[in-house]
Amino acid sequence: MSKRDLKKYLAELNKEQLEEQIIELYEKYSPVKVYYNFVFNPKEETLLQECKLKISNEYYPLKKAGRRSKPKMRRSVAQKYIKHFTLLGVDPFVIADVMLYNIEIAQTFSSEHVIKQDLFFKSMFNSFEQAVIFLIANGILNDFKPRIIAIHDETIVQKWYNEPEFNAIIERFEY
Q: Do 76 and 157 sit in the same domain of this protein?
A: yes
Q: Write the pLDDT tens digit of every residue in 59-72.
A: 988 766 666 678 88
Q: Do 163 and 88 sit in the same domain of this protein?
A: yes
Number of domains forming the structure of the chain: 2
- Which structural domain, as residue segments, surrounds residue 24? 1-41
Pick left, alpha or beta for residue 89 (phi over 0 → left; psi -120 to 50 → alpha; otherwise beta).
left
In whole angstroms, give the CA distance from residue 82 to residue 70: 24
Q: What is the pLDDT of residue 139?
A: 95
Q: Write the pLDDT tens digit of every residue in 30-79.
A: 888 878 877 787 788 888 899 999 999 999 887 666 666 788 888 888 99
Q: What is the pTM of this model?
A: 0.80
In whole angstroms, give the CA distance from residue 8 to residue 118: 53
